[in-house]
Structure 1
Amino acid sequence: MLNRRRFLSKFALAVSALSLAVGFGMPLPAANAEGLKIGFSQVTLQSPFYVQLKTGAEAAAKAGGDTLVFLDANGDVSKQNNDIQDLITQGVNALIINPVNPDAVVPSLEAAIAAGIPVITVDRSVNGKGVTAHVGRDNKKMGQMVGEAVVARLKADGVEKAKIIEIQGDAGGAVMMDRRDGFHAALEGSGHTIVEGPYAEYIRANAVTAMQDLLQANPDVKVVYAHNDDMALGALQVLKENNRNDVLVAGVDGLSEALTIIAEGGNYIASTLNDPKYLGDVTIQVAREAAAKKEVAKFVDAGSTLVTSKNVADFPREGLFAEYRPQVLGQ
């Protein structure tokens, strides 16, 4: 309740300041060709993907002569709301947000919109209205592509009915639901069975713990699908420790470590690319366009593709994540 009171108080002050500025003819923050101040409220930095997303955004902002004010919510909704209000007070020209919760940050976003600041969501969308654009990838399609690869591999191996363990991301998360639903759609009517495992929060250590229990409860497992490569690699570690090289593994995100194993032709069979640095780069470009009051698409898809042993050599993987940078903004 105290956090809510503080937020409402800050919101009232922000709106009052905005009204005074308009009333006295004071100019609001303007979007220049360069030298913008762009705010970025990130859900967490506890995931390698989000660390790389931050790195990509920082590099793109610096290259364009802009200032990126980055704040980490560390998975705390209250902190994220306070962070957004702080960015509004600083007079950012555009606000990027990767929400902790799609509903809980809506009042903060409404405050930004009321202050005339364009709001761009990245990776995770929100349920509120007025957001200028969402930059991300089609996670349902990504899950479906991996599912189709799993079905194809099982068919090639002559396996008609397989038990597939699914290690999930975060409970209630939009990305989790899309990667789950896309994978399930690909498996529909295949004759295979999916066992939905626990939510491991996209963290490898959590997946290791989960897989230890899942393997004991499901010794007849044929495939493990995880909502990201980090968790899939955690599952693979447990499988190796138990000499279960007969179990296939698939993930999402294009982690270079995973692609190296795919290239070796082992039992890690598929992933879909989700280059976070490029996602950060595209998001900054969209933020610039929005700050300049230019028309931008409501959804900007940064692009993805399936990776298997057949095409893994096509993608550079010098960094933490494999590089995949299709032209998506029509420039």
Structure 2
Amino acid sequence: MKKLLIATLCSTAIAAPAFAADSVKVGFSNRTLNGAFFNGLTEYMKIHAKEKGFNLIETDARGDMSKQFSDVEDMLSQGIDYLILNPQDPAAGVRIAKMAEQRGVPTFILDSDISLDAPVVTRVQANNAVNNQMIGEYAVEQFGEEPMKCIIISGNQGNLVGEARRTNFVRGVMETQLRKFNRTNLTILSQGWGNWDQQGGLKAMEDLIVANSDLNCVYSEMDDMALGAIRALKAANKLGQVKVFAHDGYKKGIEAVVKGELQASASNNPDALTQTILDIVDNYDKGQTDYPDYVYITPVLITKDNADKLYNPESIF
């Protein structure tokens, strides 16, 4: 694997030029718009593509692998120069990237992950390993030597990013417990699937509360699902006994951190992600074609100590 790279951003807005006849045509296939994060990806993609003078075609697969494949086929028929893909499924994503390669269109992966064998230029995402290990370490600070009895709320089965988030949260907890106490004290009571949105997190938590009355910890792979879990915990009068941790840095998640309902999150900023990937596309178009397998935006842990400073009520996400 090539050397990993952490990318930081400069968010300077520029005047948007009109599209020239020969302007770069970029296709963005988003896996869904169901959820604040995915909607944020598309909205910030529009903003930054306009800043660069790119001609953007964006689609919503609505969580359907077959639709995403058809969406990309249609964009390729429209003559896109580059494809930015947020794959609904890793295996289907490989097939889509191969289809684009056959048409001579370079593919860039955004947010989700895909096999290292896939014919893509690079993958732009949050540093899920570092972010979630930091969340796990912070969780141990909150619990001390008290046993952690955790529920995990995941997005969808087979999602590589979700897997990276939860496994690194667990790793962060256990490594910190070993370092501090020479033993681990973490039990994963159960796992639920929230489909990456608040309603899914609510339903998953409602189901899991019934069989796990002694839980004292919830880890969610996404803030929006965590907000649903918090609603369920409140309704069951259990939020006072449960500490909730999540990932994404959603502004409503940051509000929950300020309120003390969510203990910690970490930044997966769609503004930073889209600007980073479009910078890469721009540089690729200008001849810089050698990139590492992964390009990461800067890891940021969000807790009550910095939530006020990081909160932006005007943010799309």
TM bin, normalised by shorter chain, reads: 0.7 to 0.9
CA 1:284–1:190: 2 relative to 1, 3 Å: same
For the 8 Å contact 1:43–1:75, the answer to whether it is kept is yes
2:50 to 62, 67, 87: 62
Q: Which residue of 2 aligns with 1:6?
A: none
For the 8 Å contact 1:202–1:231, the answer to whether it is kept is yes
For the 8 Å contact 2:218–2:244, the answer to whether it is kept is yes
Alignment of 1:197-236 (within 5 A): 197-236=191-230
Q: Which residue of 2 aligns with 1:24?
A: none
Task: Tell me by how many angstroms 1:179 deviates.
Answer: 0.7
Task: Tell me by how many angstroms 1:138 deviates.
Answer: 1.7
User: Within the alignment, does 1:135 sit opposite 2:124 as a pair?
Assistant: yes
Q: Which residue of 2 aligns with 1:170?
A: 156
Q: 1:284 and 1:276 mapped to 2: Cα distance?
A: 12
Alignment of 1:61-80 (within 5 A): 61-80=49-68
Quick one: percent identity of the two aligned structures?
Answer: 30
Unpaired runs of at least 5, structure 2: 1-19, 175-182
Q: 1:253 and 1:103 mapped to 2: Cα distance?
A: 24
Q: Which piece of structure 1 moves more, 104-113 or 134-143?
A: 104-113
Structure-2-length-normalised TM-score: 0.85
Q: SS of 2:56's equivalent?
A: strand
User: Within the alignment, does 1:98 sit opposite 2:86 as a pair?
Assistant: yes
Q: Which residue of 2 aligns with 1:183?
A: 169
Q: Which residue of 2 aligns with 1:274?
A: 268
User: Within the alignment, does 1:145 sit opposite 2:134 as a pair?
Assistant: yes
Alignment of 1:229-248 (within 5 A): 229-244=223-238, 245-248=240-243
For the 8 Å contact 1:254–1:321, the answer to whether it is kept is no
Once the two structures are superposed, what CA deviation does each residue of 1:171-228 show, in whole Å capped at 9, x if it has no partner?
A: 0101110011101112224312122321111121122122122222111111111111
Task: Tell me by how many angstroms 1:320 deviates.
Answer: 5.1
Task: Tell me by how many angstroms 1:140 deviates.
Answer: 2.4
Unpaired runs of at least 5, structure 1: 1-31, 323-331
For the 8 Å contact 1:203–1:231, the answer to whether it is kept is yes
CA 1:314–1:255: 2 relative to 1, 3 Å: same
Instruction: Figure out how many residues of one structure are paired with residues of the other and give that number.
Output: 287
User: Within the alignment, does 1:253 sit opposite 2:245 as a pair?
Assistant: no
Structure-1-length-normalised TM-score: 0.81
Q: 1:273 and 1:145 mapped to 2: Cα distance?
A: 11
Q: SS of 2:118's equivalent?
A: coil
Task: Tell me by how many angstroms 1:258 deviates.
Answer: 1.9
The alignment's C-alpha RMSD in Å is 2.0
Q: 1:111 and 1:247 mapped to 2: Cα distance?
A: 47
Q: Which residue of 2 aligns with 1:318?
A: 313
Task: Tell me by how many angstroms 1:96 deviates.
Answer: 0.5
Q: 1:38 and 1:70 mapped to 2: Cα distance?
A: 8
Q: 1:164 and 1:94 mapped to 2: Cα distance?
A: 42
